[in-house]
Amino acid sequence: MIDNAANILLARVAEAYKAHFGIPPEAVAFAPGRVNLLGEHTDYNGGLVLPMPLRLGTAMAAGQGGTAGKLRVASADFESEEVRDLCENASDAWSDYVLGSFRNAPGLKEGSGLTAMVVSNLPMGAGLSSSAAIEVCTLRTADILFGTETDPVTVAKLARKVENEFVGMPCGIMDQFAVSVGEVAQAVFLDTRTLHHEPVPLPEGYSFLVVHSGASHKLTDGGYATRVAECQAACKALGVEALSNLDLDDMERIEALDEPLNRRARHIVTENDRVKRGAKTLEAGDAAAFANLMIASHHSQSADYAVSLPEIDRLVDGALAAGAIGARLTGGGFGGSIVVLVAAERLGDVRDTLTKNFPMVRVLTAA
């Protein structure tokens, strides 16, 4: 998982720690961001997802010592330090993710004092799992610091617990799983109900671009929680435990639900089907078929799940018009990034056209 880009970040964070705290760190660790190729909002419905770790990510350097019961955590990017009581609750601060993760780390001893430095090259609010990256990175650092050996699936579950129970974000497990268990340059097919997962190869001769729309999102703002509640209401109306218990054969019952529950449920059921087919098309190296599923997924997110924005829809259309074969909103939505599938020989053209026509965007290469 650790490649050269990660090593550069690790060296930077160790240096920043030493400059800030005056001693070398006892532990350093890295965790990547992720881009989701297909399967949006299915994870908290017991469904299927197809994310991929990025080379961009977050690194932490840390040490034990300092004031007992306190966490001093600094960010080299924000040039700020926050001092938190290790017993306190979340307070809508960036340090919540670090505090919540240390508190959930196996091996944390009562009365410990901790110091930590964070650096990241992952844009925040871009739908690329900056929160999961900082949680998993903190849990990995804690493992080294406390001499524990937490397996990657447990790390993913602990990081999700931090989101759900400490930060208060009702997300599924996709992001934490992709970040903790996934491998760079491979997608991971994950059944979020059973946690059965398999690596999926990327199509040869094609690239996935991540294009940050410039519209930042904050999933704790309420739109995400509203979708979670709508899915729960649809389950109640249909008498099922999870929307992923349904499939395309149940479409008549789904269409009979009231608005907007019918559209929300339709997105989940059709999206699960697209992920199932998408994993097979990637296994078969059929980039064109995968691209069509990406486009259908975007329409479903926009029309049925209502998590896109007009500027994101324009960006998807712009990417396709520029020569990409597939494009869709990735991540939680309400802003953030799109993921674009492009033939290698068109990469330069698509990148140039997008930056010319959409000055707000930032184009990153995913793989």
d(CA 110, CA 82): 20
DSSP state for residue 209 in the 8-state scheme: E
Q: How far is the CB of 155 from ligand GAF (least distance, A)?
A: 16
Q: How far is the CB of 12 from ligand GAF (least distance, A)?
A: 26
Nearer to ligand GAF, 17 or 334 (CB): 334
Nearer to ligand GAF, 40 or 143 (CB): 40
Nearer to ligand GAF, 43 or 143 (CB): 43
Q: Which residues pair with 328 in a beta bridge?
A: 339
Give helix 130-146 / helix 96-104 axis angle, nearest 10°.
Answer: 40
Q: How far is the CB of 188 from ligand GAF (least distance, A)?
A: 14
Burial (Cβ within 10 Å: 0-12, 13-18, ≥19) of residue 360 = exposed
Residue 143 among the catalytic residues: no
Instruction: Report the 3 state secondary structure along 112-178.
Output: CCEEEEEEECCCCCCCCCHHHHHHHHHHHHHHHHHCCCCCHHHHHHHHHHHHHHHHCCCCCCHHHHH
Nearer to ligand GAF, 20 or 217 (CB): 217
Q: How far is the CB of 129 from ligand GAF (least distance, A)?
A: 6
Given the residues 43, 96, 143, 175, select the one marked as catalytic: 175
d(CA 304, CA 295): 14
Tokens for 362, please give them.
């930032």
Q: How far is the CB of 262 from ligand GAF (least distance, A)?
A: 20
Nearer to ligand GAF, 36 or 115 (CB): 36
Nearer to ligand GAF, 52 or 219 (CB): 219
Which residues of this protein are in contact with ligand GAF, per CB under 6 A? 36, 40-41, 43-44, 171-172, 174-175, 219, 331-332
Chain centre distance of CA 218: 13
Q: How far is the CB of 224 from ligand GAF (least distance, A)?
A: 7
Q: How far is the CB of 43 from ligand GAF (least distance, A)?
A: 5
Residue 54 has phi, psi (to 5 degrees) of -105, 170
Residue 3 has phi, psi (to 5 degrees) of -115, -170
Tokens for 296, please give them.
């259908």
Give the alpha-carbon dihedral of 215, 221, 224, 227, to 10 degrees.
Answer: -120
Q: Encode burial over 80-101: b for 16+ CB neighbours within 10 A, e otherwise.
A: eebebebeeebeeebbbbbbbb
Nearer to ligand GAF, 94 or 146 (CB): 94
CB 25 within 8 A of CB 172: no
Active site residues: 175
